[in-house]
Amino acid sequence: MPARVARLRIAGFKSFADSTSVEILPGLTGIIGPNGCGKSNIVDALRWAMGEGNARSLRGGEMDDIIFAGTTTRPSRNMAEVTVTLEDALGIIPPPLHEQSELEITRKIERGSGSAYRINGREMRARDVQTLFADMASGARSCAMVGQGRVAAIVNAKPEERRQILEEAAGIAGLSARRHEAELKLRATEANLQRADDMRGQVEIQLQALQRQARQAARYRNISGLIRASEAEFLAIQHLRVERAREAARLTLEEAKVKAAEAAEANRAAEQAHGQGHDILPALRAAEAEARTALERQRVASEQLAAEEARAKAAIGAANQRLEQALRDLGRAEGLMRDAAEAEQRLGAEDATLAAAEAEAEARLAEAVAAMTRAAETAREAEATAQAATERNAALTATAQALTGRLSQAEQRARRVGEQVARLTVERDRLALDLIAPDKLAEAKQAAETAEAARKEAATRLETAEKARVAAQSALTKAREQANTAEAAATKLRAEIRALNEVLSVGGTQGGPQLVDELTVPAGLEAALGAAFGEELSASAGKEAARYWRELPAIDGSAAIPEGCQPLGEVVQGPPALARALAHILLAPADGAPGLQAQLRPGQVIVSKEGGVWRWDGYTLRAGTPTAATVRLTQRNRLRKLREDGAAADQAAAEAKAAQDAAQTADRATVTEEQAARNARREADQAAERLRNTAAALTTRAAAAEQRLAGVVSQLEAAQPEKTEADASLAAIREEAANLPDLSAMRAEVETARSALQLARREESDSRARHDGLLRDRSTRAQRRQALAQERQSWAERAEAGKAHLADLDQRRQEAATEHAALAAEPERLATARAAQTTEFADAQAAHQTSASRLKAAEDEARAAEKASRAAETAQALTRENLVRAESAVEQANHAWGTVAERILERLGAEPAFPEITVEPSQENEDKARRRFERLTKERDEMGPVNLRAELESEEITRQIELIDREKGDLVAAIAKLRGSVGHLNREGRERLSAAFAEIDKNFQAFYARMFGGGRAHLALVGSDDPLEAGLEIYAQPLGKKLSTLSLLSGGEQALTALSLIFAVFRSNPAPLAVLDEVDAPLDDANVERLCTLLNEVVKETGTRFMVVTHHHHTMARMDRLYGVTMMERGVSRLLSVDLNRAVAMTEPPPPRMAAE
């Protein structure tokens, strides 16, 4: 069972501020409502949830405009969400959701953050959702979404644009998206292949540069060896100089230590004398401190007496102030008592006045209540009279309006039926002459079948040619790949051979070729031979050279060879000049060579395959030290091997090139055959199409003529009784309208009743206002009397408090007077005590002066002894400074020695092998050694940057080239696979599109005849022989007109023709949901009836659920259910629904019950 769209839930989308659900049930669902209330917003929400990404297509400036923007009473929303629920969706979506039968597809947007898709809570891509709906023949822009202007868009579209209708009907809308994606991948892969070719060329250039850098690195290493030797000589001289300077500093330090000891002894004697002078000072200082303390105590006592005298005077002044304040407070309390008595008298008089006024107000309040009751009764009676008159007037007006509407409809119906009877009579007579002979129709069908057989044969030939071309192209790609691989391998070998030839051709001597080029060295012995000879192999065999090897006879009585050693002359083939040297160079394993070195005879040397050297005189060279000779011998062996491999690679490249040429010739032949087959297919298609169109046109004309004639006769028979019934109905309605009473008298009665009602309501309002005023006055008087009572109570409480306060103030006055009398004698007593204290202070001051004089004399003697001690300490400090200088000199010498030792350790190792120093280690000789070292360093630096990893990097570049070649092979295979996929998709698309075209054309012809009640029409592919590139043209011939394209028809005919095409698509590839947004707007009532009838038939045939937005009352009446969109709150849409089938069932009377037997 195909998937069905069951529900649409909207929240925060455009004018739908609150969450709203639309149940999409089987049959026809109508959406109705006034203009601007939000009907089309439901359609926009559905399209947006299906993947619409253009804000303008949703009638907005940007995508955030679809979020509810708020109203004067509601704030704006920050997000919008629309959910589409699919039922019976098992297997329509890839895993992991393929086993779920119900899918909820939700699209949610947040303001300023974009939107996201979810299916059953799982986040999905927009493309996945769009492809899902496209595979269901649905989607935001599918033919099933017939929005406002969609019919006009089909009419005005170019044939190429209408092809989308066929693609959706054929179910290849998603296939087209996949084909486009495959084509994008194909172009990207081809671009990657081009980039790989470019990258390989760049890497080959890098390889050539690295080979030049490797030669430069060898020269760099030779200069570095000379630099190490000169640096060792310079460091040896410097080490000897600092060693001598360190010994001289040590002797100076010993002499400074002796002098420092003598100065320390003299300083100790001076410090002893200074200490004796300071011992008597503490007792004298204690006596002086005691006298000073007694003096300070007398001074403090004098100050305390002065302070007490000041406090006594201040206390007398404060007592006077308290006495005066008590007298003032007593006067204020007596004034408060007088104010309380006056307030009590005044407030009592005001309370009596208010009590008298309240008695008079009660009578007036009773009169106001009676008047208000009479006015309210009069207003109720006037309102009842006005309500009755208004209801009678409304009923009579509604009856008159209903009769007017019925009369207008009856007149239109009678006129329409009369015109229809006349037109059908003329049409019946004309259609009888348009019938086509059966033999002519059979002849056209036979010609079309013959052409169709020829077309299928041409299609089979084309398919065979395409397969052959694909196979030939695959073979050509494989051959080209093999040829490229073989040529790349041969080119790589040739480049390496050329580079080695260039390297080995550099460095020859002036007297002829180097001996190293005349040696034949087995693989693995290059390091041994290079270590044994070193730079001596670069000499020539010619005597005219500055350095050359002389040919000498072998030495008689050669020395014994240690056990386990083998002369190099037995394994290395060289010129005779090297025979004596090769006989004395012995090959031995590296681990046993040090033990054999002591057994060597003069002239003998042991070498290892790793490059170690152990000479008879003790000279040893560790393995792994590269030499120019070793490198040159390795390069010669490598060149010999490359020449052997290069010949085989050239042969393989030539064979691969020949295979590529053969495959290319075969590919050209298949391309030629495919083009011929395609031309034949195109010619056969054209012929078949032309004959098929001719047969279809004749068949359509015959069927249409018969159908039109039968239809016209049937319509004429049905129209005659309808005309009679319409005339009778019109006469009855006119008679009923003539019997209606006059409405003007009723309107006058209503106005009179409303005037009386207004007068009564005004009198009622005035009496109510008088009554409310009296009530407010009574309440104000009561509140004032209550306030007066509270105020009188307050003044009484103040009077009681004043009496108590008055007694308290009198007591405070008496206490202040007593205190003042007690303080009057205190100043005289304090003056007597102060005179006695002055005498005691003078005695303490004299005692302090005596002790201070004795202390000063003792301190002068102590300062003299301290001065002598400081002189001795200064002398000791001088000797200590000399000692520190000597220690600093030793430390500097040690630091200089350590610096040199650290540099030696850094440059030469923990056990440096210093060269023998034959010169005096002076500053001059050190500078000479340093200048030689700096000159060699400068020479090396002038070489510029040297890539010492050139050989390793060249090997890495070679591996990178091999990787690029492998990736190119993968890309070529991917291109072939993608081309095959695109071809398969194109073939499948053509087949499905052709089948869909035939079915839609058949359905379109049938729907057109039913929609127009006759006429004929058909579809045609134009603009290209390839269905995937051709456009869709619509040809139609309404009754009484010539055959023409869609653009030449009238507006109503165009709309009906476009709707016929849409229904034909529905029938050929039914969508689960179709939306028709006001498509009935340009149609008259009769065509709307036909449209609704077709809708019901399509629903029964295909099961498609229709959502119809309409304003037409005929369309509303044909719906199964209605959703009304209202905007009771300005700017906010709401939905109301009614099931018309259930409503009809509720209004029909129940069937009668059978009586019991």
Determine, yes or no, domain membership for 61: yes
pLDDT of 1034 over the 80 cut: yes
1107 forms beta bridges with 29, 1075
pLDDT of 1143 over the 70 cut: no
Determine, yes or no, domain membership for 321: no
pLDDT band for position 67 (50/70/90)?
Answer: very high
Per-residue pLDDT reduced to its tens digit, 447-483:
878 888 888 888 888 788 878 878 887 788 788 788 8
Determine, yes or no, domain membership for 127: yes
Q: Residue 192 half-sphere exposure, CB side, CA atoms within 13 Å?
A: 17
4 forms beta bridges with 87
Number of Cβ within a 10 Å radius of residue 837: 16
How many whole angstroms separate alpha carbon 540 and alpha carbon 549? Answer: 6
Determine the 3-state secondary structure of 573 from DSSP: strand
Share of the chain above pLDDT 70, in %: 87
Q: Rounded mean pLDDT of 540-547? A: 69
Residue count of the chain = 1157
Give the CATH number, domain containing residue 21.
3.40.50.300
Claim: this prediction has a pTM higher than 0.75 = no
Per-residue pLDDT reduced to its tens digit, 130-186:
888 887 878 887 778 887 677 777 878 888 878 877 777 776 665 666 666 777 777
pLDDT at 917: 66
- What type of residue sits at position 128? D
Binding-site residue numbers for ATP are 34-41
Tokens of 197: 């070719």
| Direct distance between the N- and C-terminal alpha carbons of the chain, in angstroms, rounded to an integer | 48
pLDDT band for position 1151 (50/70/90)?
Answer: very low
Q: Rounded mean pLDDT of 305-329? A: 74
pLDDT band for position 188 (50/70/90)?
Answer: confident
Per-residue pLDDT reduced to its tens digit, 630-664:
666 666 677 777 777 778 878 888 888 888 888 88
Q: Rounded mean pLDDT of 1081-1105? A: 86
* Chain-centroid distance, C-alpha 747: 71
587 forms beta bridges with 566, 607
Determine, yes or no, domain membership for 1100: yes
pLDDT band for position 1157 (50/70/90)?
Answer: very low
Q: Which residue matches tokens 């529905």?
A: 1066
pLDDT at 499: 64
pLDDT of 441 over the 80 cut: no
Q: Do residues 179 and 982 lie in contact, with contact meaning Cβ atoms separated by under 8 Å?
A: yes
Q: Do residues 63 and 115 lie in contact, with contact meaning Cβ atoms separated by under 8 Å?
A: yes
pLDDT band for position 1056 (50/70/90)?
Answer: confident
Determine, yes or no, domain membership for 18: yes
Top-confidence residue, 535 or 506: 535
Tokens of 638: 């490598």
Determine, yes or no, domain membership for 566: no
Tokens of 1069: 């590839």
pLDDT at 1149: 52
Tally of structural domains, the chain: 1
- Highest mean predicted confidence (pLDDT) among 438-442, 1035-1039, 1046-1050: 1035-1039
Q: Do residues 227 and 974 lie in contact, with contact meaning Cβ atoms separated by under 8 Å?
A: no
Share of the chain above pLDDT 90, in %: 6
Determine, yes or no, domain membership for 328: no
Q: Rounded mean pLDDT of 182-200? A: 77
pLDDT of 109 over the 90 cut: yes
Whose CA is closest to 302, among 829, 841, 827? 841
Whose CA is closest to 847, among 285, 295, 303? 295
Per-residue pLDDT reduced to its tens digit, 755-791:
887 887 777 777 777 777 778 777 787 787 787 777 7
CA torsion angle for 1110, 1115, 1120, 1121 (degrees, to 10)? 30
Top-confidence residue, 174 or 295: 295
Q: Which residue range is the domain that position 1111 belongs to?
A: 4-142+1078-1147
Using H for helix, E for strand and C for coil, what is the string for 225-246? HHHHHHHHHHHHHHHHHHHHHH
pLDDT of 1 over the 50 cut: no
How many whole angstroms separate alpha carbon 429 and alpha carbon 234? Answer: 131
Beta-strand relationship, 122-124 and 114-119: antiparallel
Determine the 3-state secondary structure of 256 from DSSP: helix
pLDDT of 1000 over the 50 cut: yes
Binding-site residue numbers are 34-41
Determine, yes or no, domain membership for 78: yes
Tokens of 207: 């390889």
Among the residues of 506-627, which ranges form H helices?
526-533, 579-584, 593-596
Instruction: State phi, psi for 879 to the nearest 5 degrees.
Output: -65, -35
Query: 872: burial class by Cβ within 10 Å (0-12, 13-18, 19+)?
Result: buried
Q: What is the DSSP letter of 871?
A: H
How many whole angstroms separate alpha carbon 1021 and alpha carbon 997? Answer: 9
How many whole angstroms separate alpha carbon 455 and alpha carbon 463? Answer: 12
pLDDT at 1154: 33
Tokens of 226: 């000379």
Q: What is the DSSP letter of 93?
A: S
Per-residue pLDDT reduced to its tens digit, 478-507:
887 888 788 778 777 776 677 666 656 544
Q: Which residue matches tokens 């040397």?
A: 605
Instruction: State phi, psi for 565 to the nearest 5 degrees.
Output: -110, 155
Per-residue pLDDT reduced to its tens digit, 864-913:
767 777 777 777 778 777 777 777 777 777 777 777 777 776 666 656 66
How many whole angstroms separate alpha carbon 230 and alpha carbon 4? Answer: 93
Q: Which residue matches tokens 């996949």?
A: 178
Q: Rounded mean pLDDT of 686-693? A: 78
How many whole angstroms separate alpha carbon 639 and alpha carbon 496? Answer: 8
Calculate the average pLDDT of the chain.
77
Q: Do residues 689 and 398 lie in contact, with contact meaning Cβ atoms separated by under 8 Å?
A: no
pLDDT at 1031: 84
748 forms beta bridges with none
pLDDT band for position 106 (50/70/90)?
Answer: very high
How many whole angstroms separate alpha carbon 855 and alpha carbon 861? Answer: 10
